[in-house]
Amino acid sequence: MNADQLAKARVLVVGDVMLDRYWFSAVERISPEAPVPVALVQREEDRMGGAANVALNAATLGAQTTLLSVVGSDDAGRRLAHLVADSPIRSAMRQVVGLRTTMKLRVVSRQQQLIRMDFESKPDHEVLLDLMDRYEQELDLHDVVLLSDYGKGGLTHVERMLAMARLRSKPVLVDPKGRDYSRYKGATLITPNRAEFALATGDWQGEDELQQQADRLRAALGLQAVLVTRAEDGMSLFTDTGRLHVQAAAKEVFDVSGAGDTVIATLAVMLGAGSSLEEAVRTANRAAGIVVGKLGTASVTPAELWPLP
């Protein structure tokens, strides 16, 4: 795979976007008011989070990437829209008056998170329904659909989205959330992490039981594949032909936040560029190994994945 091939991939990302805000600080004393550290904020940084980070990962790899979502008309929403506009992402975001944009504020000292504060509200059902016409238009312009579910309400109509994509024979990759995966019925591939998979299917003992649970889930939902990401234990792909396990590629881990975004974005770009699923999984594993060596939500470039000798 090369950069020219990746540039031909057309990826539509739909889901819950958020603003990741970082306050980088120095902690040198304990507060006299309570036994808590005093963080002296020295630098602030805003990054795209959630589905926006997924889209950034796909765009950074060179794919033609469109982001379809809703944000508020508040400060965080305007900031997020500005970040997207300054990126290679083609924006199809809609700003909604009265909606509070999801924001995660992290206070960091010496590359360690001290605390994370979340601000959010779910979009109105009718607002999301209004996006369906735009979604239908975008389907015909893209090779792969990627649904990034963070449980914030942006994929309320996921069943209809999947049905519309199937009618057009578009592969759909889903990063799932919650206990009930029945809403993802008919997707091509889902990518739960270890904890998410256990929440939906129950705990397992050993590799054989893990495969049995994955195969049952595939059969029940009509999925072509299930990819379980397993942190330091790598990732396991389950298909009709069996199981493919790849060992974790990380050499040094600073921050695992956003690693799942990198995995599914890399899969989508690779498949959109004509790669086999096995090659896409191996490449996504390498990408995850690179991104966890960076602080905060981050992305990977083709040069990092395929460095020159």
Nearest Cα neighbor of 174 from 28, 304, 54 is: 54
The token pair that represents 237 in the structure block: 């792909």
261 catalytic, yes or no?
Answer: yes
- Where are the domains positioned within the chain? 3-18+47-100+122-300
CA distance 190 to 256: 19
Nearest to 143 by CA among 243, 288, 5: 5
The secondary element (H helix, E strand) that includes residue 264 is helix 259-272
- Is the per-residue pLDDT at 309 higher than 90? no
CATH architecture for residues 3-18+47-100+122-300: 3-Layer(aba) Sandwich (3.40)
User: Mind listing the pLDDT tens digit for each residue in 27-58?
Assistant: 999 999 999 999 999 999 999 999 999 999 99
User: Out of 20, 149, 255, 261, which one is annotated catalytic?
Assistant: 261
Interval 147-152 mean pLDDT: 93
Number of C-beta neighbours around residue 146 at 10 A? 32
Q: What's the mean pLDDT in 166-172?
A: 96
Model confidence at 274: pLDDT above 60: yes
Tell which wins on pLDDT, 137 or 297.
137
Q: What is the pLDDT, as a whole number, of residue 257?
A: 61
Q: What is the dihedral of CA 230, 171, 88, 122, to 10 degrees?
A: -70
Q: How confident is the model at residue 137 (pLDDT cuts 50, 70, 90)?
A: very high
Average pLDDT, the chain: 91
The pLDDT-based confidence of 124 (bands split at 50, 70, 90) is confident
Cβ-based neighbour number of residue 219 at 10 Å: 10
